[in-house]
């Protein structure tokens, strides 16, 4: 047991009081909130002001991909702060140019331009704007089980219920069902059937909306906060084929799935697909500073060679944020972090979580890639009735008691640690989840 001195307790209490009095917290009813004040972190661990340590299985908001306080990344931010700390987008800056080059080099061939934003939601906003400007069309299709951000356009593109409070949203957005075999909308019994029928459904939706009016199909390469839904083989390629057939821009949202999270630089690369626009954020610099953006095909970029792009941000390509991205990408390459994440998912974390699932009848399905996994909880394995919210809260509390901090999303526990977590720590997390499931079941 860590000794708790008076000083840390006083500091903890002050932070809690100031937070209650002055901080308005996102996605929450404010009364009764009491978030845990954090004091520090290192690698795959963080701790509070009392010295209680947690093995991180949330990566904050699935973005601290290279872990906490990486010395080279923090040094790069400090060094960048000694130079110009603000350069408007109308000027050029070395860190911005270097970051764009690094990111474009990771994307498929023929995607050489990057538009920088402050995060993923703004990336989606501008991807929609780019697609509409490129095609001259106005409709945007996106999946129901999706989350694309909280700004006006991004929340309309979002398919799940978090969009309800912001409706009516921007015009022209239409939703469709993507593949999810465990809870199939298509009466499918195999991954092949789910893929074929989901693609046919998308074709029908485009036909009903008029393909000549559809600017873009937006989808998460691997669905994140709505269940870590890995697309069946052939699905992304099928979407690409449909988009090519109708001159529609294919937009892959890689905000959560990219930069090592799924064991690839970009998750869609696992299936050999090349989209027209790639939205990124989160892991590009491990969340050390706000940064996102859009990588675009040369064809889309060329649409604005002689026509102004009607979009912009004061902090587009902020020098400190871009310097952190350069450092983060260099670190991930030199330390082999992407390969490590892929191997960890295949040989350690995935197998360990599946073993846990096999021991508990309340676990309906375990799915994921790399260091992005979901454990779906059901009250009955036959009906697949989801666990109620209070049981998920109890399970999350039991996980914290066991020393790990995962994400609770819907009827699922998401196990999404930093990409640098070790094999031993990954097993430790799975064992802690096993004990937490036993405790809640009891």
Task: Say whether both 111 and 142 belong to one domain.
Answer: yes
Q: Is residue 270 part of a domain?
A: yes
Q: Is residue 31 part of a domain?
A: no
Task: Say whether both 115 and 246 belong to one domain.
Answer: yes
Q: Is residue 13 part of a domain?
A: no
Task: Say whether both 310 and 212 belong to one domain.
Answer: yes
What confidence tier does 441 reach under pLDDT thresholds 50, 70, 90?
confident
Task: Say whether both 184 and 250 belong to one domain.
Answer: yes
**Distance between CA atoms of 132 and 124, rounded to whole angstroms?**
12
Q: Strand pairing of 45-48 and 38-42? A: antiparallel
Task: Say whether both 219 and 340 belong to one domain.
Answer: no
Q: Is residue 112 part of a domain?
A: yes
- The average pLDDT across 187-193 equals 98
Q: Is residue 386 part of a domain?
A: yes
Task: Say whether both 202 and 291 belong to one domain.
Answer: yes
Which pair of tokens denotes residue 120?
Answer: 């993923």
Which pair of tokens denotes residue 72?
Answer: 């080279």
List, in order, residues 6 or more apart from 160 with CB less than 8 Å away.
144, 145, 146, 147, 226
Domain endpoint, select from 275, 303, 334: 334
Determine phi and psi for 162, rounding to 5 degrees.
-65, -15
Q: Is residue 15 part of a domain?
A: no
Task: Say whether both 77 and 205 belong to one domain.
Answer: yes
CA-based torsion, 388, 389, 393, 399: positive or negative: positive
At residue 188's C-alpha, the angle toward residues 183 and 193, to 5°, is: 125
Which pair of tokens denotes residue 90?
Answer: 């109308």
Task: Say whether both 288 and 426 belong to one domain.
Answer: no
Domain harbouring 360, CATH code:
3.90.1150.10
Domain endpoint, select from 334, 350, 369: 334
Nearest to 421 by CA among 6, 57, 24, 41: 57
Task: Say whether both 387 and 303 belong to one domain.
Answer: no
Whether the pLDDT of residue 373 is over 90: the answer is yes
Which pair of tokens denotes residue 229?
Answer: 């839904």
Task: Say whether both 228 and 328 belong to one domain.
Answer: yes
Which tens digits make up the pLDDT trace of 276-321? 999 999 999 999 999 999 999 999 999 999 999 999 999 999 999 9
Task: Average the pLDDT over each of 1-10, 296-305, 367-376, 387-396 and give the range with the smallest value.
Answer: 1-10
Q: What pLDDT is attached to residue 2?
A: 46
Q: Is residue 137 part of a domain?
A: yes
Containing structural domain, residue 348: 36-66+336-441
Task: Say whether both 312 and 358 belong to one domain.
Answer: no
List, in order, residues 6 or more apart from 220 with CB less than 8 Å away.
143, 146, 147, 148, 252, 253, 254, 255, 256, 257
**Distance between CA atoms of 211 and 208, rounded to whole angstroms?**
8
Domain harbouring 151, CATH code:
3.40.640.10
Higher pLDDT: 32 or 200? It is: 200
**Distance between CA atoms of 280 and 255, rounded to whole angstroms?**
4
Structural domain total, the chain: 2
Task: Say whether both 149 and 218 belong to one domain.
Answer: yes
Helix 389-401 × helix 423-441 angle, to 10°: 130
| Its pTM surpasses 0.85 | yes
3-state secondary structure of 374: strand
What confidence tier does 7 reach under pLDDT thresholds 50, 70, 90?
low
Whether the pLDDT of residue 426 is over 80: the answer is yes
Domain endpoint, select from 304, 334, 364: 334
Q: Is residue 30 part of a domain?
A: no
Which tens digits make up the pLDDT trace of 122-134? 999 999 999 999 9
């Amino acid at each position: 047991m860590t000794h708790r001195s008076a000083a840390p307790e006083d500091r903890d209490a002050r932070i809690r009081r100031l937070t209650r009095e002055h901080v308005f917290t996102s996605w929450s009813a404010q009364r009764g909130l009491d978030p845990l004040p954090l004091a520090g972190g290192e690698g795959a661990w963080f701790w509070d002001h009392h010295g209680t340590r947690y093995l991180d299985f949330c990566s904050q908001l699935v973005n601290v991909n290279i872990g906490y306080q990486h010395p080279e990344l923090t040094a790069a931010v400090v060094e960048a702060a000694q130079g110009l700390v603000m350069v408007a987008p109308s000027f050029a800056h070395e860190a911005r140019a270097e970051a764009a080059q690094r990111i474009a080099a990771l994307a498929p061939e023929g995607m050489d331009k990057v538009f920088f934003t402050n995060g993923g939601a703004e990336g989606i906003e501008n991807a929609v704007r780019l697609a509409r400007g490129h095609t001259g069309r106005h409709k945007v299709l996106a999946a129901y089980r999706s989350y694309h951000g909280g700004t006006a356009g991004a929340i309309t593109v979002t398919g799940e219920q978090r969009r309800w409070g912001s409706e009516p949203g921007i015009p022209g957005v239409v939703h469709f069902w993507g593949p999810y075999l465990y809870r199939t909308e298509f009466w499918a019994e195999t991954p092949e059937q789910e893929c074929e029928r989901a693609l046919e459904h998308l074709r029908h939706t485009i036909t009903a909306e008029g393909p000549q009016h559809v600017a873009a199909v937006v989808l998460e390469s691997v669905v994140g906060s709505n269940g870590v839904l890995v697309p069946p083989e052939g699905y992304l390629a099928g979407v690409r084929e449909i988009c090519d057939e109708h001159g529609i821009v294919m937009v892959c949202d890689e905000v959560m799935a990219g930069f090592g999270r799924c064991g690839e630089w970009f998750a869609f690369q696992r299936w050999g697909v090349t989209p027209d626009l790639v939205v990124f954020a989160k892991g590009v610099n491990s969340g050390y500073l706000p940064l996102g953006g859009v990588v675009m095909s040369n064809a889309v970029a060329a649409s604005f060679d002689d026509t102004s792009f009607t979009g912009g941000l004061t902090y587009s390509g902020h020098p400190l944020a871009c310097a952190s991205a350069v450092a983060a990408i260099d670190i991930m390459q030199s330390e082999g972090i992407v390969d490590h994440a892929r191997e960890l998912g295949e040989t350690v974390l995935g197998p360990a979580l599946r073993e846990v699932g096999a021991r508990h009848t309340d676990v309906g399905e375990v799915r994921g890639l790399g260091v992005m996994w979901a454990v779906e909880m059901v009250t009955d394995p036959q009906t697949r009735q989801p666990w109620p919210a209070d049981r998920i809260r109890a399970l999350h509390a039991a996980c914290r008691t066991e020393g790990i901090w995962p994400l609770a999303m819907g009827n699922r526990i998401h196990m999404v640690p930093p990409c640098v977590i070790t094999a031993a720590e990954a097993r430790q997390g799975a064992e802690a989840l096993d004990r937490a499931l036993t405790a809640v079941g009891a």
